[in-house]
Amino acid sequence: MSQAGEELVRGLEALVPAMREEIASCAAKDLEELRVKYLGRKGLLAGLLAGLGSLGPEDRPLAGKTGNAVKQALTGLFAAREAELAAETARGALSRFDPTMPGRGPERGSLHPVTLVMEEICSVFTGLGFEVVSGPEVETDWHNFEALNLPPEHPARDMQDTLYVADNVVLRTHTSPLQVRTMLARKPPVAVIAPGKVYRRDSDLTHTPMFHQIEGLLVDREVSMADLRGTLTSFLRQIFGADTRVRFRPSFFPFTEPSAEVDISCRMCGGAGTLDGEPCRVCKQTGWVEILGCGMVDPEVFKAVGYDPEVYTGFAFGLGVERVTMLKYGIGDLRMFFENDTRFLCQFA
């Protein structure tokens, strides 16, 4: 073997005792640094093996074999020290364990604030005699639109920003299809609420593609707008407090006639329009906050489900659960509901 080959082999063999000496006293925090020093891509072993290319053909086999053996030895030293340090750590932890100390109990979780408010709303309406119904989130176009007086050419469809699964199959844009399904399956009187997820092609600071709605329906003989007003006023005061003021404003919805939007006195400023001498950002100084939409069921909807509009009347309403939750708990950012920040969620335990 040439002199260069002999020097390379001696250099490789010298790495093993050098690493054995260093690693014997190496602490856990320095172990990785030592591995990189000897076995890293730019370490001592890699630097020596780079010299293989300058050796003659007669020297390379022995030098290469020596390099492989040294690499295995260095790897073994590292693995052995790593296992030794892990065992020492385990023994130390065990020695610090005091079996007489009381155990750590399970931490108490909480329901999501949207779930809490949805359950509270359902509880109020069941107390008023309504039944909770559920149904599919993937709906036919007929149930989601046409039966609710929204034919294909109706301009109000553009407001829904619908997500289509297939031709004439959609992700429901509201829970009103459950009202249709209930009326198709039952004869009056009917009093139901339909909570659940709904989907729209909408995403910004105040909207999300998926959110929660609760819609209600009451159908019977001689149901009037006064019944609607009394029911919703009672509901809103149970949710937001007995001193909550409620007002109804004329509006338009394709499936109700007449229609109204309902406002409540602002929860932040108490309806004053100002807070600590500054304009209230929640109600924009009006003292009122919109909370839901409602109205008397349009006769065309009754015709679609086989109810006689000359005999029966009814009212319907719908509200966004996230909006109610934000107003009830004073939450200023819709995104907090979806970020899963435990600092936020633990407040509802």
Q: What is the pLDDT of residue 288?
A: 92
pLDDT(206) > 80? no
Domain residue spans of the chain: 3-95, 113-348
HSE (CB half, 13 Å, CA atoms) of 134?
4
The pLDDT, as a whole number, for residue 320 is 93
How far apart CA 213 and CA 185 sit, in angstroms, is 22
As a whole number of angstroms, the distance between CA 35 and CA 77 comes to 10
Domain 113-348 has CATH 3.90.600.10: no
191/193 Cα distance (integer angstroms): 7
How many other β-carbons are positioned within 10 Å of the β-carbon of residue 51? 16
User: How confident is the model over 30-59, as pLDDT tens digits?
Assistant: 888 988 888 888 888 888 888 887 888 887
Note the pLDDT tens digit of each residue in 291-314: 999 999 999 999 999 999 999 999
CA distance 225 to 299: 15
CA distance between the termini of the chain: 77
Render pLDDT for 146-161 as a digit per residue (tens, 0 to 9).
999 888 887 766 666 7
Give the DSSP H or E segment for 286. none
* 13 band by pLDDT with thresholds 50, 70 and 90: confident
Q: What would the pLDDT profile of 246-271 be if each residue is shown by its tens digit?
A: 999 999 998 999 999 999 998 878 77
Q: Percent of the chain at pLDDT above 70?
A: 95
pLDDT-above-90 percentage for the chain: 44
Please check the confidence at residue 169 and state whether its pLDDT lies above 80. Answer: yes
User: Given a cut of 80, is residue 93 above it in pLDDT?
Assistant: no
| pLDDT given for residue 101 in this prediction | 80
Beta-strand relationship, 131-132 and 190-199: parallel
Band (pLDDT 50/70/90 cuts) for residue 95 is low
For residue range 212-224, list pLDDT tens digits in order: 999 999 999 999 9
Q: Of the candidates 189, 242, 181, 167, which has an alpha carbon nearest to the alpha carbon of residue 215?
A: 181
Residue 156 confidence (pLDDT): 65
Which of 5-9, 126-130, 200-204 is predicted most confidently? 126-130
Mean pLDDT of the chain: 87
